[in-house]
Every structure is written in C-alpha cells, then in structure tokens.
Structure 1
Amino acid sequence: MGRAEIARASGLSTQAVSKIIATLEADGLLMQDGTRSAGRGLPAALYAVNPDGGYALGFEVRPDAILGAILDLRGTQIATARERVIAAGPQETATIITAMRDALAAKAGIDATRILGAGVALPGPFGRTGLSEEASALPGWEGVDPVALIGDALDLPVTVENDANAAAMAERIGGAAEGHATYGYLYFGAGLGLGLLSGGHLVTGAFGNAGEIGHLPLAGDGVLLERAVSRLSLVARLEAAGVDAPDIDTLGALARADHPIVRQWIADAAGPLARAVHVVETLFDPETVILGGAMPEEILRDLVQAAELPASSISNRTDRTVPRLICGRTGRLVAAGGAAALVLNRLFTPRFAPVAPTLQ
C-alpha cells in the first residue's frame, strides 16, 4: 500500500503516516515494494512488511518431545527442530528450549537479536484441576509459572498457550483457516483439544482451559471423547493387538497399508467425532471446524470423510462456502508454528483498551 491508502485506512494524516513509515523503515520492519502510477505526478511508493525485519520463536512441549519452529514476519516457517525427551519436566524443558533457540537461529542464519518473542504451547489443562492426572497432561508442572520460567531462560517476551489454541492460530497463517476469523480447530496432540477463534482472537476462558473437549463424555456409554478419538487411543488399540506404533510415521505407514485395526478405529471414532463437531457448532456457530495436528494426513482425511455430521445443526446452511468439517494443512508441527504465530498475532492483531466516554 501507498502512504495515501494507509492514511485513508487508518484515519491518520498523510504526514503522520509518512513519519511512522520512516521510523518503521529505519527499524527494518517495513520496506519499499514497488511503485504505482496514479496519473499525474511521480509514481507513489508502495510499502510492505519486511519479512526479515523480525522473527518469532515457537515451541510445543509434549510429554515425550519438544518441537520448535521459527517464523519470519510473513509467517513463513524458516527452520524447525525436534527433540525427544523421557519426561518434559519444567527445568529440563527450559534448558532444552534455550538450546533449541540457539540452534534454530543458527540453522536459519538469522540475527538472534531480531527475535521479537517466543510462544510456548503446552497441553492443558492449566492449573490444578480434576483432570491433571490424565495421560495427556504434563506431570510436574502444577504450580509452575511457565511464562516466568521460560521467559527468564530465553530473556524474551513469552506467550504461553494451550496447544490446541496455538494450533488453531497456525491454521490462520497460511493454513486451512486463512481468510476465516471464526472457526474451531480439533487438535490431535497428546490427547484431543479444541482451539476456538472468534473474530481473529482466541477464546481462552477464565483460566486458559476453554476447549478441553477431549474430556467430555461424547463417545457413548459415558466414555470420554479423548479415549475414543485421539492418537493415544489409536496407539493403545494397536498395542493391545501386538502392533508397535512408536511414532506418527509408523501410523501413516499402517494407514497407507489399510491395516484393519486402523481402519476399524477410524470407523469407531467417526461417530464420536461427528457428535463433537455438532457440539462445537451448537455452542460456537463457527464458519467451519478444522481437524489436524499430530496425526498422519491419511487418517485425518479418512476421519473427515467418515464423520457423518447431523443435518439438524445450525451450521447446516444452504449458503455455506466451506464444508462444516475440513482437514488442516499445517502438518504435525502445527502447534509449534502456532505458538510462534501467537507472537505475530500480538503484533498484527492487537487488543486495545476501550476508551472511556467523555462527558460533554
């Protein structure tokens, strides 16, 4: 955009816009990106975000692994890292994340002083709750302030978020949710979570635990949804039959081979998944619900196809432009990339305090 367009869009004067652009150019955050002729006079200079003006770090902490990513200012993923752990305790996690930051900066060949902040995605629930002993939770983190712990270790501003929320944000930057502002994201992480975005902002709840949908009894006979629809439930069923599935690549190979246990699990999980989508639609009225995360693409696609969504839903509209349930496009590092996207979201979609009315 040119100065005049920015001035019209922002309500600022052209002179104010020119001063701000000069400052942002000097800081390396904006760059000139071509010109546009508007008839008489000199062509107007056009400005764009400088993708190398700053970078955002993102980390996902799982019980058995820590994943990292770094994004430029356009949301492009320029480096990733992954490290397996025995148990992701607080101090061990802070040490690994610090080393991972240095490795990512070196791998990307960037100036580490241009890193603007870090996002960290943790599996919920946060705080001491009645769900803290679930297999998908992080042991040893109760009572720990992750913002202070990791912020001190990195010496950066840190945003901590539920992993499903981070994944939901990642899909908005170059993923299946690009162009959408209000949607749900069902996330396969350690368990099954739900990220919700309304008008481009995350819905987090009073204690950061909104979207713990995996703990709802939606699977029939009072069984929690997560026990029927999660990577843990699929791996448990395979292991019960003597089939070892230690990682996502193995699950993908079994799916491509049309393994009967994987096929039956998909058939059994489709019903509970459809009921979960219906709940999200009824409570939240999203543009769409996205299914993604740490699960092979083949299984995600088959789940979406197998889930028969009820016709009696407020989301069953004749004017829909996108299906009610779709696959995500950001892959298994979605939560790490999403954690970094939280930093960009804070920069580009700020929340402003309301201005008190002035009495005349």
Structure 2
Amino acid sequence: MSSSSPSPPAPAKATAGSNAERSRHHNRKVVLGYISANAPAGRAEIARASGLSTQAVSNIIADLEADGFLASQGRRKGARGQPPVQYAINPDGAAALGFELRPDALFVTLVDIGGAVRHSARIPLAASGPAEAAFEIMKAANTAIAQSGLERSRILGAGVVMPGPFGIELDRGSEAELHGWADTDPAVFLSNALEMPVIVENDATAAAIAERVRGVGAGLDTFCFVYFGTGLGLGIVARGQVMRGAFGNAGEIGHIVVEPGGRPCECGQSGCLEAYTSRLALRRMLAEAGVKADSAAEIEALHEAGAPALTAWLDSAAPPLSRAIAMLENLLDPQAVVLGGALPDRVLDDLIARLDLPAASVSNRPDRKRPRVLRGVSGRTTAALGAAALVIHDTITPSLEPS
C-alpha cells in the first residue's frame, strides 16, 4: 500500500470559451469564472481548461487586471523553470448591492466580488410603494457604498428582491404583499432611480440562490426553500437552475389550502398555509395573547422565555407545514426542503423538530444521507444576499451559449 498523500481535488471545469472577437464578453466571464473557482490560477492552466488560446487568455487577463477584477499573486513556488504568474479575484475590484423590499422593512447588503459582505443593514419602512421605496433604496445604497470603502464606479449593479406575485395586484389586502407596484416595472423604475443596472427577483427564489451559494444548499442540485418573510414564499432549484414560472411567480406556496374550511385568509380562501405557518400568523397569534413582537430579536426573546403564545403557534404551525412539505416532496422530488428567512434560527429549529412528515413520500428513502428538512444558515439577510449574488453571478458566470 502506498504511503503517499492523496492527490489534491481536481480543479473545477471551465465553460468552453471562443476565440471569436464577438465572444469577447463571454470569454471574460469564462476566465473570471474559472479563476473564481480555482484561484490562484495561471494563464496556461486557464487556457487548457477553457479551450482558449494562451494569447487570448493573456489579453483577457491584462484587461481584467487593468479593470481591477484580478490581482497578481506572484509566481508559483516550486515550479520548474520560470514559474507562471498566478491570479486571483481582487475583492476590492467590484461589488454588488442587494436589497430585499418587504412591506414593513428594507434589507440592504453590499457584497464584494470575492464573496465578502461589506455592509448589511435593516431599515424600517412606513410605506413601501414605488416612490417611498425608491427613496429609501437610494439612501441605503449611498450609505452602503460610503461605508464599504469602495468607489461607486466599482458597483456592478443592484439586485432587488420583492414578494410576489409579479405583474398583478390581487386586491386581497394582505400585509405580506407590496401594494402599488402592479403598473410599475420595478427593474426599469429602480434602475433609473439608482442609475445602475438592476435585476429584480422573487424573494424566495433569491433566498434559495443565497443558500446554494453559501449555505446548506451548497451541496444540493435540487431542493426547495420555504422562505419566511412577512408571509411565506417558495424558492425552487431543479438540477442547479431556479424555477421561476412563466411570469416569475412560481412558488406562491402561502396560499395553497392545507386546512379545508380552516382559518380565513386575506386572499378570500380558508385554510391557507400562510394563515398558520408564517411570521404574519405568528404575530397575529401573539397579538391575540396581548404580546407584541415585530422584530426577530423580540421573537427570539419570547422563545427563550418559553412564551406560551409562541409555543402555541409552533404547535399549530407544524401540522399544516408537514402536509405542505410532503406535497412538495411528491411533486418536485427534492433532495431536501430548507426552511429559512426572517424567523430566528432557534424558532425554526423548534418548528422542524415538531414536523410529522408522512411516510408516504418519495423523499422517505432508505438510502437518504441527510434529513428531509434542513434549516438554512444565511439568516434574515438571506434574500438580500441572494440579490447581490445574482448580480455577481451574472458578471463571472458565462452562459451556455456565447452571445
């Protein structure tokens, strides 16, 4: 038996590049994406992995270094002859803003291209219509950029996540929905306000992306993310791709009926999941008991104190959520269902512990290596982090077909 040390893991494969001049933008993403996954890396290594010529890689690296995206790491030690110069992502070279707009609050993050969070904040909102939200987003962006130490020219753009549905207003008066946006294209409106490119995404989908980038979804190709905002949303990742639906509204899980004839819901139905298992439902149950808790910190304090009203909500929320999870499992066959968002970790842990998942599910497999339900680790800024990650992903990840 050999006593030699194990071989290092193989580097991530690069998407194939193209030497055509029309594909220069695509090739920049190929090089950036490879270095992001395999830093430090040299020109010849990148050329071999991407199919680009060494000269093309050299030209692209020179441009990326001049633009501040890459930084030289010196020459590789121990290599024969003239060691190759190694390159890595320069975290000060670029960053993206991420916003989560809720009816009662705005979350903002600024994430650099190396993945570090440079700024994070929660801003309470008295109103969340287009004019009011744009004003607060502009103020929050200026503060984030100033505190990050980066120049505004280094900001690639902003991702903004909002609770659905998109493109329609259901006039159901829900506290979990944004009102006044039905006739406004949020991407165009906010891009004009911020004077930078803006990507708009469903909040639960963005949260799922964040959890896949830096959370428990990192090793999962197919999973569901049940997102606790004010209401309840669902992000779906299938074989590494997010499922958005025809109009970006896939995942409206909050208004699936899980208790026929049950509690009345603002949407006009009775027995919706959101009426039992959401932060909105929790706040109402607490209010009925004469307890007010608007923030995650206040909810966490009640949980630590063993507040009876909070315990009652956990007991009432778990059964309908168990049925909804079984429905997701049988419909989508995920590797796991992840719970995360605005609720404190310990509250989510207790909710998961109370679940009674049906045995009649395709996810109830004898070869299962992880629990059917996991708690996310990205915390209350999950969706805002996902919004920033969308912008960075668009910058460093090439599409399958070069444009």
Identify whether the pair has TM-score above 0.5, normalized to the shorter chain: yes
Question: Relative to structure 1, is the Cα distance of residues 165 and 309 closer, same or farther in structure 2, using a 3 angstrom cutoff?
Answer: same
Which of 31, 54, 68 matches 1:14?
Answer: 54
5 Å-filtered alignment, 1:136-285, equals: 136-219=176-259, 221=261, 223-285=271-333
Q: After alignment, is 339-348 or 96-105 more displaced?
A: 339-348
Name whichever of 313-322 and 87-96 sits farther off.
313-322
In the TM superposition, residue 318 of structure 1 has moved relative to its aligned partner by: 3.3
Question: 1:351 — aligned with what?
Answer: 399
What is the alpha-carbon distance in structure 2 between the residues aligned to residue 20 and residue 158 of structure 1? 26
Q: Which residue of 1 aligns with 2:375?
A: 327
Asked whether 1:26 is paired with 2:66, we answer: yes
| Pairing 1:109–2:149 present | yes
- Contact 1:75-1:174 at 8 Å conserved across structures: no
Q: Could you tell me how far apart the structure 2 residues matched to 1:200 and 1:243 are?
A: 42
Q: Partner letter of residue 81 of structure 2?
A: G
Amino acid corresponding to residue 338 of structure 2 in structure 1: I
Corresponding letter in the other structure for 2:360: S
Take 1:234 and 1:41, find their aligned partners in 2: how far apart are those partners?
66
SS of 2:235's equivalent in the other structure is strand
Q: Is the 8 A contact 1:37 1:44 kept in 2?
A: no
**Mean Cα deviation higher: 36-45 or 142-151:** 36-45
Deviation of the 1:220 alpha carbon: 5.0
Return the letter of the residue paired with 1:298.
R
For 2:201, what is the secondary structure of its paired residue? strand
**TM-score, length of structure 2 as denominator length:** 0.83
The alpha-carbon deviation at position 166 of structure 1 amounts to 1.3
What is the CA–CA distance in structure 2 between the aligned matches of 1:22 and 1:354, rounded to whole Å? Answer: 21
* Structure 1: distance between partners of 2:340 and 2:234: 10
TM-score of the pair, normalised by structure 1: 0.93
Out of 65, 70, 73, which is 2:110 matched to?
A: 70
How many residues align structurally?
Answer: 355
Rounded to whole Å, the distance in 1 between the matches of 2:402 and 2:86 is 32
* Cα RMSD (Å): 1.9
Code of the residue aligned with 1:30 in structure 2: it is L
Change (3 A) 1:169 1:128: same
Query: In the superposition, relative to structure 1, how do residues 219 and 51 fare at CA in structure 2: closer, same or farther (>3 Å)?
Result: farther
Uncovered stretches (5+) of structure 1, i.e. residues with no partner: 356-360
CA contact (8 A) 1:125 1:132 kept: no
Alpha-carbon separation, structure 1, partners of 2:391 and 2:373 = 27
| Alignment match, 1:57 | 97
1:313 is matched with which residue? Answer: 361
Q: In structure 2, what residue type is equivalent to 1:299?
A: V
Between 223-232 and 272-281, the greater mean CA deviation after superposition: 272-281
1:358 maps to none
Instruction: Indicate the larger mover: 130-139 or 188-197.
Output: 130-139
Corresponding residue number in structure 1 for 2:349: 301
Residues in 1 aligned to 2:148 and 2:204: alpha-carbon distance in whole angstroms: 26
Change (3 A) 1:206 1:264: same
Q: Please, which runs of 5 or more residues in structure 2 have no aligned partner?
A: 1-40, 262-269
Question: How many angstroms does 1:4 deviate by?
Answer: 2.6
In structure 2, distance between residues paired with 1:282 and 1:129: 30
Q: Would the aligned equivalents of 2:127 and 2:133 in 1 still touch at CA under 8 Å?
A: no
Give the superposition deviation at 1:353: 4.6
